[in-house]
Structure 1
Amino acid sequence: MTTITMRPPVAAARSDRSYWLQNIGADAVTSPLQGSSDCDVAIVGGGYAGLWTALRIKEKSPDTRITVLEADFCGSGASGRNGGQVHSWFAELDMLHTLVGEDDALMLCRATADAIEELDQLQASGAIDMDLRLDGWLWTASSTAQEGAWAAADDLCRALGEERFRPLQRGDILRRTGSSASYLGIVEERAGTLHPAKLALGLRRLALERGIIIHEQSPVLEIAPGSRPELRTAGGALSAGKVVLAANAWLSTISELHPYLYVVSSQLIATAPAPDILERIGWTEGVSICDAQQHVLYYQRTPEGTVIFGRGTGGIAYGDRIDARFNRSGDGGADNLREMHRVYPQLKNVPVLHDWSGPIDCTTQHLPVFGHLKDHANIFYAMGFNGTGIAQTPVAGHIMASLVLGHDDAWSRCGLVGLDRRTRLPPEPLRYLGARMVRRAIRRKNDLEILNRKPDPVTRFLAGLAP
């Protein structure tokens, strides 16, 4: 059988790691794979998706021998560099309803709400201190073009008897965020923020405590399929009855998955702590905030008063060949800095101490997909989290555990399983050239709309081609 060649992730230099990872000195604590070993289930990727999958399998089948192979250290990828926003899938209920139907959409949305409660219990019990603050998630408009972006999801929630969101007016938003930039929106109250790296390393500790073997600094170079696939690293080989690929954007190297997956960058900055300023403007809560630009802004304040401000930039690479340039923007986070000063002019004199970026795995429907490779029923994948994974990967773990263990249940039968409903993307060079044109159009559209100016028809058309 043909060997599957993997593209090893490009680990970020210490200075390019996220604020979250540097804040707690995150690093590897387990040894690389050396020599030959075997297990029942091998998981490629030690982020949220891989660790939740390992934990769910252990919950359902305690005797299963599980080994996680992580290229750098657990949480070093998207799981440790995101914006720390916690909200359910009810914000995507309309998209889920279109893709998987009413029953599955409701099941999946409710499962993410349950996952938020699970995170709360993990913190309350002392199992993981993740700085979780369920002070709400705000979806807002700061220009007329953004008004009502949430209407389809909110209306469908109400039609299906799910009162998940409450409308917000200018005064509500100012009181909760300390900013007058946004003046309309909705709030999901049982949502909020956390410290992404603390969650990732807490999941690593739980996995180790439950007998799951983890080898960090062990990038998988190739996989030899068969009745017992063999995963090869620079220092060893691991044979397994089943394999789970949970390597985020790096799965774009697999030819069967690449037509359904595209990789973009997301960029974030973190300020010096400014608790006095934030207290003065009234931003005291642990709310997470998004606006409704096409390249969305997302931000929060940490308990110490550091402001985290992020944006999906849409940065791409030809053939999704991700390199070290994805780990740092190169401009000091200038785009985010400009937007932060628009939303919070009071922070103009507060220095930015960290800026970082990284690749995100996206699908055209902006919803993840799960399954197994067409010719290899014992090699499974979980991909396409689109930058939204904190409450979603615990659900992904349930789906993957049922698939791997061969359970016939609501998880393994849900509509997120399988590529048959997904839209294929064009091949190169059309993919790259088209994405560049669309990205430029979206940026022009965003910049004009934030000033309440109408983009020209060509810009609107090209921006509308985005998945």
Structure 2
Amino acid sequence: MRPIPRSSRFANGGVSFWFRDMGLPERRPSLPGAADYDVCVVGAGYTGLWTAYYLKKAQPDLRVAIIEREFAGFGASGRNGGWLSAEFSGSRERYAESHGKSSMIALQRAMMETVNEVVAVADAEGVDADVVRGGMRLVATNAAQQERLTAEIEYLQEWGYWPDDIHLLAHDHEPRLSVAGAVASAYSPHAARVNPAKLVTGLARAVADLGVDLFEDTAVEEIRPRRGAARPAVVTGHGTVTADHVVCATEGFTSPLRGQRRDWIPMRSSMIVTEPIPAELWEKIGWEGREVLGDAAHSYVYAQRTADDRIAIGGRGVPHRPGPDQDGSTQPQEIAGLWRALTRMFPDVADVPVEHAWSGMLGVSRDWCPSVHMDADSGLGWAGGYAGSGVAAANLAGRTLRDLVLGRRTELTRLPWVGHKVRGWDPEPLRWAGTRVVHGLYRTADRRESKTEDKGHTSRLAGIATRIARR
């Protein structure tokens, strides 16, 4: 394999290229000591910020605080691929079992509406997040992927997507996007490209302007439920915050909290970004519509054309490593894998240097289904397990948590992910071994399909991996 061209500015790690490009935000003060609020939110990512935003909009006199270990957007909210889409990771059948098919369809339609909601709020709050409503393009580059993509569209159209919401494209569809080897492609209008760091920092500013107390550099040691007359509490090294309701919005950083080690497994997703690509190469590629771009592989990738004409591409890296995220670095083999995916799709950019690589953690539940919950007895609520669809799902979760905290019965609180519970993950090292096996099987399945060893059909190895993962 040829060496990967690296920019003279190449960096591996840090929060993300998005924050490197715009600069890290000035940190807000830590919690000054013991305090009392109506609602305390733990975690200043999309989920926590949206929850606080909608609570203050609905009830301005509500006393709301957010406690953040680092700074707003430090986690997945500032590291993701910038896909604001209606994709939903959970098993539709599992939700339908408990609530009925129509309820799951309502959840899917709510995700579509959420794309519009995020864009509308960003506009209203003056958040310039490089938003382009270009939709989503999915491509298949071999016969097995084409078969799978066609089947997926048929499946989605049974679960809330109408033909206008997702469909196969004609070969000469405009605007043009030339992906090498593409044998089929599909399009959905329910997606937008965003700069995730600009979105999360703008949202944090809007939340603070509403009067929410946002405390950074404040690590949470324990979240205590209501016990008798004792209200729920958030214990930190700077003091304890008591509140009527506590919302845990830590997603991929949940496992270090006492008693929650096995709720959501932290999985790492990795990204690389090129230097700006010359105009003559964009003439060959197209991508004038700046759709977000994905493929139909098992170890899929997701990409965007950035505001300054780079390509940012990501995918699941090493799926699970025990312990907290240290520096956001990406392992060399994952950088190489993303670069190979990039140059397979766009061979003309093979000489464009890679400028930055990074990774982040997302939260995944044992059944890969996200959930939202507020327990009236304990006073504790949470949302997460988005498994990669969190840019939009976190907004829907925030609006749902608003209604749950305020005791409202609404269409949102009746959605089937509210109160969804699943058993915890297996203890270590079993879950580490299991995720490695699943990851390896999917990668091998992709290689076989690309070489037509499985005669144009989805590899049996992928089916084995799916059963092991219980997806």
TM-score per shorter chain, which class? 0.7 to 0.9
Stretch of structure 1 that moved more, 104-113 or 270-279: 104-113
Q: Give CA-to-partner distance per residue, 1:150-202, whole Å, 9 cap, x none.
A: 434544536867331121244438x5323233221321124221111111011
> Match of 1:441?
441
Q: Does the aligned pair in 1 maintain the 2:169–2:185 contact within 8 Å?
A: yes
> Match of 1:9?
none
Shift of 1:402: 1.7
Q: Give CA-to-partner distance per residue, 1:48-72, whole Å, 9 cap, x none.
A: 0001111111222221100001111
Shift of 1:102: 2.5
Q: Residue 80 of structure 2: which of 79, 82, 97 is its match?
A: 82
Q: Does the aligned pair in 2 maintain the 1:176–1:282 contact within 8 Å?
A: yes
Stretch of structure 1 that moved more, 390-399 or 182-191: 182-191
Shift of 1:115: 2.0
> Match of 2:313?
309
The secondary structure found in structure 2 opposite 1:392 is: helix
> Match of 1:110?
109
CA distance in 1, matches of 2:423, 2:185: 31
Stretch of structure 1 that moved more, 141-150 or 204-213: 141-150
2:132 corresponds to which letter in structure 1?
R
Q: TM (normalized to structure 1)?
A: 0.88
CA distance in 1, matches of 2:301, 2:423: 26
Shift of 1:360: 1.2
Q: Residue 32 of structure 2: which of 31, 34, 37 is its match?
A: 34
> Match of 1:355?
357
1:271 corresponds to which letter in structure 2?
T
Q: Residue 336 of structure 2: which of 323, 334, 337 is its match?
A: 334
CA distance in 2, matches of 1:191, 1:116: 6
Point out where structure 1 has 5 or more consecutive residues left out of the alignment.
1-12
> Match of 2:138?
139
CA distance in 1, matches of 2:269, 2:246: 29
CA distance in 2, matches of 1:229, 1:193: 38
Superposition RMSD in Å: 2.8
CA distance in 2, matches of 1:30, 1:286: 34
Q: Is the alpha carbon distance of 1:161 and 1:204 closer, same or farther for their aligned partners in structure 2, counting shifts above 3 Å? A: closer
> Match of 2:270?
267
Stretch of structure 1 that moved more, 350-359 or 30-39: 30-39
The secondary structure found in structure 1 opposite 2:255 is: helix
1:35 corresponds to which letter in structure 2?
G
Q: Give CA-to-partner distance per residue, 1:370-390, whole Å, 9 cap, x none.
A: 22469x620111120111122
Shift of 1:331: 4.7
Report % sequence identity: 28
CA distance in 2, matches of 1:431, 1:285: 41
CA distance in 1, matches of 2:28, 2:436: 40
> Match of 2:393?
392
Q: Give CA-to-partner distance per residue, 1:249-294, whole Å, 9 cap, x none.
A: 1223457655452221111000001141223432222100111112
Q: Is the alpha carbon distance of 1:288 and 1:97 closer, same or farther for their aligned partners in structure 2, counting shifts above 3 Å? A: farther
> Match of 1:344?
346
Q: Does the aligned pair in 1 maintain the 2:180–2:344 contact within 8 Å?
A: no
Q: Residue 366 of structure 1: which of 365, 368, 375 is its match?
A: 368
Q: TM (normalized to structure 2)?
A: 0.87
CA distance in 1, matches of 2:14, 2:98: 37
CA distance in 2, matches of 1:343, 1:195: 22
CA distance in 2, matches of 1:281, 1:305: 12
Shift of 1:123: 4.4
Q: Does the aligned pair in 1 maintain the 2:108–2:159 contact within 8 Å?
A: no
Q: Does the aligned pair in 1 maintain the 2:445–2:460 contact within 8 Å?
A: no
